Structure 1
Amino acid sequence: MFKILLIEDDATLFKEMKDRLIDWDYKVYGVENFQNVMESFARIQPDLVIIDIQLPKYDGFHWCRMVREHSNVPIVFLSSRDHPTDMVMSMNLGADDFIQKPFHFEVLIAKIQAILRRVYNYSTTTSDLKTWMGATIDLERNRVSNEKGMIDLTKNEIFILKLLVERKNKIVSREDLMNLLWDDQRFISDNTLTVNVNRLRKKLAEIGLGNGIETKVGQGYTAIEQVEK
């Protein structure tokens, strides 16, 4: 049974979401002290975190940063704000998805199921290690390393890289990536994929692999690697 930490200060919405998630056989926990959310996170060790942006004391962006300092657990943002920068900020901080309030509960469930299925099931069918451009991709630890250093990736980032590397030197369409990542494109903004890929590139640049992923305008992305002759 997956554990979900719901960081939401609206008591009515929290109860409604908790009851609905319990109906889907999830264990749902709340936060007792909004001044120190990490106490709850450390105690519960959730499999997924849902964070509202507007919270007492510190906003959801702050707590996302704090969680990412310690864990790559999947994070879903909730927000009643509709400014595009909120979604971009969320993804840049390492969130896996962003849902705007008000939302249909079926959409939330679909996103949660897709994320949990992707994060906790995909690595059981493939080798935990892959190599690309002289780097080792550790799918179990969400890390990429080479002689220049090591970077930690989020679940979305490692999965995007895995898909591209498995088809290296071939174009992977944006539609294929979104379908494989989130199962149903109808619930996904096209910008979400762009932000995730740009964030992945920025991290890869730290170890000299920033040019390893090429954008094929109007088509998708390619993980390049020179073929040995």
Structure 2
Amino acid sequence: MYKIMTVEDDLKLCKEIQEALLKWGFNPVKVKNFEDILNEFVQNKPELVIMDINLPCFDGFYWCQKIREISKVPIIFLSSRNTNMDIIMAVQMGGDDFVTKPFSIDILVTKLHAMLRRTYSYGENLGDVLECRGVILNINDSTLSYNENKIELTKNELKILLLLMKNIGKIISRDRIMRILWDDDTFINDNTLTVNVNRLRKRLEDIGIKDFIETKKGQGYVIL
């Protein structure tokens, strides 16, 4: 069941879209906090986004661009603004299709089916994004984003963050991390892990992320 996120400020229209999506067997979710749509996207992990242009705070172009920084998930714009410039902007910001209001729900659903079929027909998983305290980890391209900063992670950095962010609040032992990094920790100097973690912490601090990975003496590491 595909999860579809609707970013629509018109409550009546949003309700109509949600009801139609349910009828067609989709799993619809709607944005509640228009001040932080990116965070809602990360939390919900939708397979497709329906995005209006006219929104509170920032417009749909802005949020489409922010989503594109961390995900390739298809985005369909839905708007009464139908000038050539609006359509061009939608495409340039990363939109995949443009539906003009007023519209037929059946046509919208048909476009959704076609877009999902084209996007996921090869088994591609585009929703591998984790978030904690504003830190966004994109597993697909091995990048980490925070505010306006973005860095590419090494293989070991990605493995460490992935393990810790998938287990928020849980202490992960050094032995477990070493087994994941090097398969067999028998011939790995314990100090090697310390060096890797310290290097990762330094990279996080360089883009403003402080005290993200905590050390629990004699136990391991944790992200709270």
Q: TM-score range by the shorter chain?
A: 0.5 to 0.7
How far off is 1:122 after superposition?
3.8
Paired residue for 1:114? 114
How far off is 1:123 after superposition?
5.8
* Structure 2: distance between partners of 1:38 and 1:72: 13
* Structure 1: distance between partners of 2:36 and 2:72: 19
Paired residue for 2:100? 100
How far off is 1:94 after superposition?
1.3
AA aligned opposite 2:35? Q
CA offset digits 1:175-197 (Å, max 9, x no partner): xxxxxxxxxxxxxxxxxxxxxxx
Q: Secondary structure of 1:4's partner?
A: strand
Paired residue for 2:47? 47
Paired residue for 2:23? 23
Paired residue for 1:56? 56
* Structure 1: distance between partners of 2:26 and 2:123: 22
Structure of greater Rg: 2
* Structure 2: distance between partners of 1:77 and 1:16: 16
Paired residue for 2:33? 33
Q: Which runs of 4+ in 1 moved over 2 A?
A: none
* Structure 2: distance between partners of 1:20 and 1:89: 28
How far off is 1:38 after superposition?
1.1
How far off is 1:33 after superposition?
0.8
* Structure 1: distance between partners of 2:23 and 2:123: 28
Paired residue for 1:89? 89
Paired residue for 1:68? 68
CA offset digits 1:156-215 (Å, max 9, x no partner): xxxxxxxxxxxxxxxxxxxxxxxxxxxxxxxxxxxxxxxxxxxxxxxxxxxxxxxxxxxx
Counterparts of 1:214-229 in structure 2, within 5 Å, are none
Relative to structure 1, the CA distance from residue 123 to residue 29 in structure 2 (aligned partners, 3 Å threshold; closer, same or farther) is closer
Q: Does 1:12 align with 2:12?
A: yes
* Structure 2: distance between partners of 1:51 and 1:11: 14
Root mean square deviation of aligned Cα: 1.5
CA offset digits 1:113-172 (Å, max 9, x no partner): 000001101468xxxxxxxxxxxxxxxx69xxxxxxxxxxxxxxxxxxxxxxxxxxxxxx
How far off is 1:9 after superposition?
0.9
How far off is 1:26 after superposition?
0.5
* Structure 2: distance between partners of 1:82 and 1:38: 25
Q: Secondary structure of 1:77's partner?
A: strand
For structure 2, the residue ranges without an aligned partner over 5 or more in a row are 125-139, 142-224
How far off is 1:82 after superposition?
1.9
**TM-score normalised by length of structure 2:** 0.54
* Structure 2: distance between partners of 1:41 and 1:56: 16
Paired residue for 1:224? none
The number of equivalent residue pairs is: 126
Q: Secondary structure of 2:57's partner?
A: coil
How far off is 1:73 after superposition?
0.3
How far off is 1:92 after superposition?
1.1
For structure 1, the residue ranges without an aligned partner over 5 or more in a row are 125-140, 143-229
